[in-house]
Amino acid sequence: MKNAKSAAMGFVAGALCMVSVTAFADSYPEIMAKLFNDVVVKVDGEYKEPPADQPILNYNGYAYVPLRYVSETLGATVNFDIPTRTIDIQSDKRTYVKEVPVEKIVYVDKDDPNYDKVEKKKAYEELPVKSKKNDHTVEVTGVTRDEGMSYTKIFLNVENDNNYGCQIVPSECTLVVDGEEVPKYNVVRLWDQSWSLSDIQYDDEREGFLLFDLIDEDWETATLEVKLLSNEEGKEEVHTFDIKHE
């Protein structure tokens, strides 16, 4: 499947995004292209015919196929955000669920008689902690270290009581531990993709995590800044947490 996806996406030399942007057509330059009536697309050994209203084009020697058609054929979804002029492609989340099992037990009471038997867990007496701004509540519920994968997971719960949808922006969240900034985990495919699948709507909440490089086992203090973007005229918020490791 991986090779098929690579081949299909490689065929998209500069893929056209067949989304609802016709209202903006007059503001862009026109080009001359030819219809590729004799070209077909083959995915996983099966021929896939594009919809009649989404033709394959030939422009300057390159084949242009409809981005929505190819993405949905590969199990992804495509949306076009008009205000930000952004084409948003989301792959099938099931691949992430399989690769990134989320540990639900992230807080361990030191008075628990089984405390010493729980591997890779520490007690964080200051957690959970919350920050509320503009009717958005961000809660840090736990911190775990995975020495095998060499990463640190910080678990969040976000509640939205604002009339506008919002999203966490993982790439702009920061973690400083004992005075030094911790890089984000460099294997991007392991990041929690659920933050960008859809907005967190009014009276809704979402659990997820942020992924950073592995921090020292004996770290003492950490400052976490969580970037939240609201659809209310693109407002940005930064929720800051000072966490002490007990």
- Quote the pLDDT of residue 220: 82
How do strand 174-177 and strand 180-181 relate by DSSP bridges? Answer: antiparallel
Domain boundaries in the chain? 2-92, 109-244
For residue 227, with 0-12 CB atoms within 10 Å meaning exposed, 13-18 middle and 19 or more buried, which class applies?
Answer: middle
What per-residue confidence (pLDDT) applies to 123?
A: 38
Two tokens, residue 226: 């969580």
Query: What per-residue confidence (pLDDT) applies to 5?
Result: 46
Task: Give φ, ψ of 30 to 5 degrees.
Answer: -90, 150
With 0-12 CB in 10 A as exposed, 13-18 as middle and 19+ as buried, what is 240?
A: exposed
Per-residue pLDDT of 206-246, as tens digits, reads 999 999 999 988 888 888 999 999 888 778 899 988 877 76
For domain 109-244, say whether CATH 3.40.50 is its number. Answer: no
- The rounded mean pLDDT for the chain is 75
> What pLDDT is stored for residue 148 in this prediction?
83
pLDDT given for residue 124 in this prediction: 43
Cα dist from 122 to 26, 112, 128, 244, whole Å: 59, 12, 13, 12
pLDDT, position 40: 76
- Hey, which residues does 137 pair with through a beta bridge? 132, 159
Using the structure block, give the residue that is written with the tokens 């030191």. 110
Q: Along the 246 residues of the chain, how does pLDDT read in single tens digits?
A: 444 444 444 444 444 444 444 445 556 677 777 777 777 777 777 777 777 777 888 877 788 888 887 877 777 787 877 777 788 887 654 433 323 333 333 444 445 555 455 444 443 445 678 888 888 999 888 888 888 888 999 999 999 998 999 999 999 999 999 999 999 999 988 999 888 888 899 889 999 999 999 998 888 888 899 999 988 877 889 998 887 776
